């Protein structure tokens, strides 16, 4: 499914650095709203987590709230996105409501949120090899190609493995999450 994302016109435009600025601004607004709910998913999972993982999930929520959303605020200024007035579109609303519902169960929630982290880490790594000259798009790519982001992704994978979800159910949740990820690029 990463190959499908790489072929998606929005991702391909980011990779080339020539994506229409209005499209990226719209995507930024939706992703900003998504990330606010992603923080809530981490918080909901932290409430259910084994004691030794509470801090990890709180740290993931903190990193998302401060680091990723700071990136979005910075890029919003460059692209003219209006983060404060944005309203969720259908893909964002469907994805976030699905994630929040999945997070009612610790193992299911981890399986549902993993596609986002894994997908962005993978995309960032793949796109970094030929990042565009436009520093705005390069900053986005560099964020997700960063080894620190890969470490956070690995931490999520570790927590998911420890939660021992039912394998078929975890696979279905992962695949549905990847379908949401692909649909999210349609702005």
Please tell me the distance from the alpha carbon of residue 179 to that of residue 91, in angstroms, as a whole number. Answer: 10
pLDDT for residue 131: 87
pLDDT for residue 114: 97
pLDDT for residue 1: 78
Measured in degrees and rounded to the nearest 5, phi and psi for residue 101 equal -70, -45
Please tell me the distance from the alpha carbon of residue 58 to that of residue 39, in angstroms, as a whole number. Answer: 9
pTM, entire model:
0.95
Nearest to 142 by CA among 156, 158, 126: 126
- Output the average pLDDT for the chain: 96
| pLDDT above 90 (res 2) | no
Percent of the chain topping pLDDT 70: 100
Percent of the chain topping pLDDT 90: 97
Question: Could you list the active site residues?
Answer: 116, 181
pLDDT for residue 144: 96
Question: Do 45 and 106 contact (CB within 8 A), yes or no?
Answer: yes
Assign residue 166 a region (left: φ > 0; alpha: ψ between -120 and 50; beta: otherwise): beta
pLDDT for residue 69: 96
Mean of pLDDT values over 149-153: 95
pLDDT for residue 9: 97
The predicted-structure confidence for 50-98, as pLDDT tens digits, reads as follows: 999 999 999 999 999 999 999 999 999 999 999 999 999 999 999 999 9
Provide the pLDDT confidence category of residue 33 given band limits of 50, 70 and 90: very high
């Amino acid at each position: 499914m990463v190959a499908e994302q790489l072929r998606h016109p929005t991702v391909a435009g980011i990779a080339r650095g020539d994506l229409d600025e209005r499209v990226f601004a719209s995507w930024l607004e939706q992703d900003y709203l998504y990330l606010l709910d992603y923080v809530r998913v981490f918080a909901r999972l932290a409430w259910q987590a084994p004691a030794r993982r509470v801090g990890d999930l709180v740290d993931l929520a903190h990193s998302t709230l401060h680091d990723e959303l700071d990136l979005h605020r910075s890029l919003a200024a460059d692209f003219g996105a209006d983060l404060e007035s944005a309203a969720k579109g259908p893909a964002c609303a469907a994805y976030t409501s699905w994630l929040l519902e999945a997070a009612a169960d610790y193992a299911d929630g981890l399986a549902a949120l993993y596609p986002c982290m894994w997908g962005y880490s993978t995309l960032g790594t793949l796109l970094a090899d030929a990042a565009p000259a436009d520093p705005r798009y390069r900053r986005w790519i560099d964020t997700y190609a960063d080894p620190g982001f890969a470490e956070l992704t690995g931490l999520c994978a570790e927590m998911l493995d420890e939660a021992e979800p039912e394998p078929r159910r975890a696979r279905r949740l992962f695949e549905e999450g990847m379908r949401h990820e692909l649909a999210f690029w349609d702005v």
